[in-house]
Structure 1
Amino acid sequence: MEDQQKSLGAQLEAQINAEKEQKSQLEGFKKTIPENFEERLTKMEVQQTSLQEALRRIPEDLEGRMDRMEKHETDIQKDIQTRMDTQRAALLDTLSLNFTKIVRPQFEPIGSRFFYIDSKYAYNWNTAVSTCREMGGYIASVKDQEELDAITAKLDNKRYWLGINNRASKGNYLSEASGKKAQFLKWRSGEPNNIEGNERCVELVGGEMNDDMCFRNLHIICQSDNEV
């Protein structure tokens, strides 16, 4: 009996010591765990979620950036093409303008411009227009009194067609060369009188202008440019 009691006492003491050691280990383990471990764990979970979301958005952002880059490149190409088209148009305009200023062999300097005077053959007004164009010029208009005096000094007493007419609109005299309103008009006394309502073309005779019927055959004056 005494031996049994000693054995039970030893077992009880061993159990108590084991519980103490377990408790001591538990306390030690608790000390190794930070007090804000749960808070830190929550922050780590939030950071992980944010990282996953950022990773998920990477393909979308990359695709968006590529789209913007492609659009920017397209805009640049359009801008370059527009500038090239503008420059090409300006160059063509300049070449066209210079071409109209090229002096044909038949034209002679009169005043500040070049003219061709045909005192040999006579044409109706429409044929006069086409004849000057075939020569590389235009049926002439006059820009001012000084030019009129210079041209008149080269003429005889014959009648000459000018490019001035009001065929498009009665009373609105235009230059066939420029398509604009005639810069200079010097009518004979009583002109324009539009006899029979059919005098729509302008002739030059004796240094003055007169409206006449366009079907009449007169001599012609051509100019090398289309500025007036």
Structure 2
Amino acid sequence: MHNFGILFIWALAACILWQGFFAKGQSGYICLIEDPKQNQYDSICLTELSSRLSEVVKAQNEGNKKLERLEVKIEKTQDKLLQEVQSKLEGQHANMEAKLEDSLLAVKTKLEGQQVVLTKLKVSQAKLEGSLLAVQAKLENQLQAVVNQLQAMSNKMDAAKVAVHAITIQSGFELIGTRYFQIVKEEVNWETAERRCREMGGYLASFRNEEESNAIRPRHGDYDYWLGINDQENEGHYVSVASQKPAPFLKWARGEPDDTNHEQNCVYWYNGEMSDIDCKTDAVYFICQADKET
């Protein structure tokens, strides 16, 4: 860069001297000095040109020195600015790191606190579940005790009812299970069977459950027996004639009931299963019960 500057100044100086110290006359270039005869050769002023060039070189050297000093000063200023910027950036980076570490520590502390709370909640939940299970087991045991007591009372009441019925029971009825029944082998229609049971002091039978049905089954032989159950008043709703309530136990044979024409409204029993047929059918035996409960 300096070499190019020197070359440029030398060229500039030559141009100035060429234009400033020479004038073009009729016979060529002349030197514009007081003593044009000294050191003059072929219209060129060597002495004046040498002096001027020396001044230019001196000025160039001084300019170079100033330029060098300026460059040193700029370099020092740049280094100082760089150091200040670097120091400031390092300080900001340190502050950012400190703030980030503090934030992370706060988040970690908060998470640890939440974990402690969650652990306590889990422990409390486990204790509560254990307490609930214990209470549930206790209630179930108490409920079962109440059920057992009620069953015992029911059995006692049934036994008392049987004893009362035994006192006033009509002849011909026998105790089968917990109730009194009479199996009558007379072939009659349903209305006749219902009337005959009333005449005997009882009602056309209706079983409470399958245990009663199974208890009577060995005694009935290979015959059909009328039961005190029908749906004459409301098709499909079978009631007991003894209690006038819905029949508590119905065990239908396969395909029964099959009252397609709404004419089979009375129920008969065979071999532990029930079917519906026309109430006017008169070739069926019947079973009476001594009480009017079902």
TM-score tier, shorter chain, comes to: 0.5 to 0.7
Partner of 1:177: 242
- State the secondary structure of the residue aligned to 1:130: helix
Contact 2:190–2:226 (CA under 8 A) maintained in structure 1: yes
State the identity %: 43
Counterparts of 1:1-228 in structure 2, within 5 Å, are 102-119=168-185, 121-217=186-282, 218-228=284-294
- State the secondary structure of the residue aligned to 1:131: helix
Distance 1:127 1:153, change over 3 A: same
1:149-189 deviation line (CA, Å, top 9, x unaligned): 00112111111000010011000000000100000000001
Distance across 2 between alignment mates of 1:186 and 1:99: 27
1:171-218 deviation line (CA, Å, top 9, x unaligned): 000000010000000000110011432100000011100011000111
- State the secondary structure of the residue aligned to 1:128: helix
The two structures, once aligned, show a CA RMSD in angstroms of: 1.6
Which range moves more in the overlay, 175-184 or 190-199?
Answer: 190-199
Distance across 2 between alignment mates of 1:137 and 1:106: 11
Distance across 2 between alignment mates of 1:101 and 1:222: 18
Distance across 2 between alignment mates of 1:213 and 1:100: 35
Distance 1:186 1:214, change over 3 A: same
Letter in 1 for 2:265: R
Letter in 2 for 1:210: S
Distance across 1 between alignment mates of 2:172 and 2:180: 9
Give unmatched runs, 5+ long, in structure 2.
Answer: 1-163
Distance 1:102 1:195, change over 3 A: farther
Flag the structure with higher helix content. 2
Aligned residues: 130
- State the secondary structure of the residue aligned to 2:280: coil
Determine which structure has more spread, i.e. the larger CA radius of gyration. Answer: 2
Distance 1:190 1:101, change over 3 A: farther
After superposing on structure 2, the runs of 4+ consecutive aligned residues of structure 1 that deviate more than 3 Å are 98-101
